[in-house]
Structure 1
Amino acid sequence: MAKRANGEGSLYKRDDGRWVGAFTYEDPITGTVKRTVVYGKTQAEARAKMRERRARADAGQPVRDSRVTLGDYADRWMGSTLAASARKESTKATYSTLARVHIIGRSIGDTTLDRLKPSDVERFVLDLRDAGKAQATVRQVYTVLRAILDAAVRDGLIARNPAAQVARPGVDRHDARYLTRDEVDRLLAAAEGTRYAPVLELLAFTGMRRGEALALRWDDIDFDARLIRVRGTLGRVGGILLVTDTKTERSRRAIPLSERAARVLRAVGERQAAERVAARDEWRETGFVFTTELGHPVDPRNALRALTRAADRAGLEGVGLHTLRHSAASAMLGTGVPLKAVSDVLGHSSVAITGDVYGHMAPEVQRSALDALAAAYGAE
């Protein structure tokens, strides 16, 4: 046995011809002194493994990665790190679903953390694409996987996050689908007389997100100041309808209330008052603006179905969740409303996002701006 200098441990050859290296170190997590052993077919191989582990120990990293499977750790992560995070409840539910469906129980989930390599993550992303998953889904699953492995690094189970060494999957940008003024009129006319027509009208006249509109309570409406205060978003979390925080801090905002939107809301209030009387003891007082006949909050899926049916009747194709929001934004930009003002109304986290999403409006807006500049100088 040959002792190595400077406390590097010991390196020796066994009777079976294999080389063994060992040294003691202080565990960065527990602070206790531990011993680690490596093996190699040659002295050089064993020495290289020792140096690698010593470097990790000196850097405060685990000397070897954990042999727990990714799936087992992901299950623990959902009940601890994810549950304790400051993420919205709806986001936690989405992340948990993505982890259970795409990671736990899959081949990558059966891989132990010490064997997980960047190439495995790349293969995982390719498999998702080959399975026909949408680009946004692939990106979300990658985000969840990276968050799980970030926590594993923090917990001292692995030294490096293999997902962090893989480029985040991209999502192709497309111009937002929007309706012209005539198409919006046709859509609203097709929905007229239905229970969800006021919801669609409010979306068209404010650019609000569907969940934001359905989360509105009467306390959020100030008819005197002509303001709508957006405080949350309604959606399903674990199968239950809940109001959670807005998408971003800037999404929590006040929107000017136009006269037409005010008329819509007053009509909703009158109908709700009549339904409260008709329902008698069955009425549930929730304070929501948009409710069922018994006062319960409206399921966002029902509002989507109403939009889809109205679009079919109006002969409009490709009308989805955000179409009315995009239409409102495009109408504002098309009539010369400054980008910053549109961004504030929409509640985007930055003006840059508004510019990216509605870049297709740039030539028209720029043309209007230059026409206005020419007019200011009296040019013909």
Structure 2
Amino acid sequence: MYTRELIKGKKWLAMADGPKHPVTGKRRQISRRGRTKKEAEQKVLAAIAAMKKYKIDKSVVKKMTFEQLAAEWFNYYALTSGNKKGTLRIRNTEIQLLNKFIAKIYIVDITLRDYQEILNDLVAQGYARNTISGAHTTAGMIFKYAVKMNYLKENPISGAVVPKKRLTIEDIENNKIEEKYFEKHELKEFLLATKEFGLDLDFERFYLLAFSGMRSGELCALKWSDINFETNEIRITKTIYSEKNNMRDYELTPPKTAGSIRTIEMEDQIIDMLKDHQRRQKKRKLKSRIDPEEYHNGDFVFARENGYPFVPFNLIPRMHRILKKTSIKKHATPHIFRHTHISMLTEAGVDLPTIMERVGHDDMKTTTQIYTHVTKKMKKDASQKVQQTFGNILNIGSL
């Protein structure tokens, strides 16, 4: 044990050899400071004792498979990340994808070249780039954990990249920005079809999605206490999650991001619609034959007859049913109303920062694409309107 006085009468430094590094086998010196020589020495001895207690058996590390490492990391991640169940489910799915290739491979044998070939293979098999990127991100966190826990000396996949798939003409044509939102005439056609052919609550839910820009999970989690009928505002503070899409097995969690907590000012027509819906809901509850003790009093805006909320998955078949009643050919899910709302705000002359704030800081790339596309279209339309309105004057130059 080596000790020396740092500040006379105030600070001491103690240093001693601790257990060798479990992977590299190199010498490790442990140092601690204390107000007295004895205190500094005791801190060093305590630190060395703790390291010995949790000493990693090098022979065990050599036989640790990726599958074992991933399982250990996932438990650690679930306890420390604070992420919602939906995110944990996605991470677990990404682990299962990686396990298809390297589940039984010892982590000390995984090389950058082998891992890069896995990424290349996933691209060749036609997996979506987002899927591959997600799996790659998860793999990165797993191996960083391995380094942190001294299982590995360094991250073996550092430097690996997700290959970029070469775009084909078909890819370009199928990735038109117009496919991500409803044009004005399409939205009108869809809402009219909803009013004529929609089932219970279809019109209210899709109408609100289009004019609020909220996510379907935020819509399903909406409570009457979130609506201020005096100020025409809706406060969004939560989303709903149900792993098995079971109305009784749901969980209310904070929305996607901190920026998603927001207050939206709504138009009078939307507020009037919600007031009518609330009156009908109260009447229905009074006439309901359901035992009051069985009624789930969750205060949900869009509740079933028994009071339980709908989950986002319930909106998809309802939407597909209505789309069949229209001439719209776009392959759409309820999320298209979020993008449609962005296009509506853009066409109404709202600036991009305000749009981002209203929709809760959605994906900047998609929002900017829609904003730019609609803005360009508006400029083109403006030129055509000038041509139509002032065509006679413009033609003076050719006289």
Q: Per the shorter chain, which TM-score range?
A: 0.7 to 0.9
Q: What do you get for the CA RMSD once the two structures are aligned?
A: 3.1
CA distance in 2, matches of 1:363, 1:56: 65
The whole-number CA distance in structure 1 between the counterparts of 2:244 and 2:138 is 18
Compute the displacement of 1:216 (Å): 0.7
Judged with a 3 Å threshold, the aligned counterparts in structure 2 of structure 1 residues 345 and 186 are, in CA distance, closer, same or farther, namely same
After superposition, the C-alpha distances for 1:228-266 in whole angstroms (9 at most, x for unaligned) are 111111132366422222111111111112112212222
Specify the code of the residue in structure 2 equivalent to 1:32: P
Does the 8 Å CA contact 2:213/2:338 hold for their aligned counterparts? Answer: yes
Distance in structure 2 (CA, Å) of the matches to 1:336 and 1:363: 12
Task: Verify the 8 A CA contact 1:330 1:361 in the aligned structure 2.
Answer: yes
* Residues 107, 353 of structure 1: alpha-carbon distance in 2 compared, 3 angstrom cutoff: closer
- Report the TM-score, using the length of structure 2 for normalisation: 0.72
Q: By how many angstroms is 1:54 displaced?
A: 7.4
Hey, what does 2:372 align to over in structure 1?
A: 359
Whole-angstrom CA distance in 2 between matches of 1:273 and 1:152: 56
Q: Deviations over 1:23-45 (max 9, x none)?
A: xxx99xxx414688xxxxxxxxx
Match in the other structure for 1:286: 298
Q: Cα distance, 1:132 vs. partner?
A: 3.0
SS at match of 2:242: strand
1:329 maps to which residue?
Answer: 342
Over 3 Å counting, the alpha-carbon distance change for 1:83 and 1:313 in structure 2 is farther
User: 1:177 is matched with which residue: 162, 177, 180?
Assistant: 180
Structure 1 residues 184 and 286: CA distance shift in structure 2, 3 A: same
Q: Is the 8 A contact 2:241 2:251 kept in 1?
A: yes
The amino acid that maps onto 2:101 is S
Q: Of 109, 125, 142, which aligns to 1:131?
A: 125
Relative to 1, partners in 2 of residues 1:287 and 1:67: Cα closer, same or farther, differing over 3 Å?
same
2:307 to 278, 283, 295: 295
Gaps of 5+ in 1: 1-25, 37-52, 372-379
Does residue 231 of structure 2 align to residue 231 of structure 1? no
Contact 1:139 1:170 in 2 (8 A): no
User: Is the alpha carbon distance of 1:357 and 1:110 closer, same or farther for their aligned partners in structure 2, counting shifts above 3 Å?
Assistant: farther
Deviation at 1:333, TM superposition (A): 0.4
| Partner residue, 1:102 | 97
8 Å CA contact 1:202–1:264 kept in 2: the answer is no
* 2:98 aligned partner, one-letter code: I
SS in 2 for 1:228: strand
1:156 maps to which of 126, 147, 150? 150
Tell me: CA distance 1:321–1:149, structure 2 relative to 1, closer, same or farther (3 Å). farther
Q: Is the 8 A contact 1:215 1:243 kept in 2?
A: yes
Question: Are the structure 2 counterparts of residues 35 and 161 from structure 1 closer, same or farther at C-alpha, using a change threshold of 3 Å?
Answer: closer
Q: What is the deviation of 1:269?
A: 1.2
Which position in structure 2 is the counterpart of 1:248? 257
**CA shift at 1:206, angstroms?**
0.8
2:184 aligned partner, one-letter code: R
Q: Which residue of 2 aligns with 1:42?
A: none
**1:7-27 Cα deviation digits (max 9, x unpaired):** xxxxxxxxxxxxxxxxxxx99
Q: CA deviation at 1:68?
A: 0.9
Matched, 1:187 2:190: yes
Aligned residues: 323
Q: Quick one: percent identity of the two aligned structures?
A: 24
My pick for the range that moved more, 335-344 or 263-272, is 263-272
Taking structure 1 as the reference length, what is the TM-score of the superposition?
Answer: 0.75
Counting only pairs closer than 5 Å after superposition, residues 20-169 of structure 1 correspond to structure 2 as 31-33=18-20, 53=24, 66-99=62-95, 101-104=96-99, 106-168=100-162
Does the aligned pair in 2 maintain the 1:108–1:124 contact within 8 Å?
no
Per the alignment, residue 33 of structure 2 pairs with none
Check the 8 A contact 1:56/1:159 in 2, yes or no.
Answer: no
The question of whether the paired residues in 2 share the 8 Å contact of 1:336 and 1:368 is answered with no
Q: 1 CA distance for matches of 2:270 and 2:205?
A: 10
CA distance in 2, matches of 1:299, 1:351: 26
- Give the distance between the partners of 2:26 and 2:57, measured in 1 at CA: 8
Instruction: Say which is worse superposed, 218-227 or 169-178, in terms of deviation.
Output: 169-178
Amino acid of the structure 1 residue aligned with 2:191 = L
Provide the C-alpha distance between the structure 2 equivalents of 1:327 and 1:315, rounded to a whole number of angstroms: 17
Alignment partner, residue 273 of structure 2: 264
| 1:34-87 deviation per Cα after TM superposition (whole angstroms, max 9, x unaligned) | 688xxxxxxxxxxxxxxxx578979xxx99874411111111122223332122
Give the secondary-structure state (helix, strand or coil) at the position aligned to 1:243.
Answer: strand
Question: Which of 317, 325, 339 is equivalent to 1:305?
Answer: 317
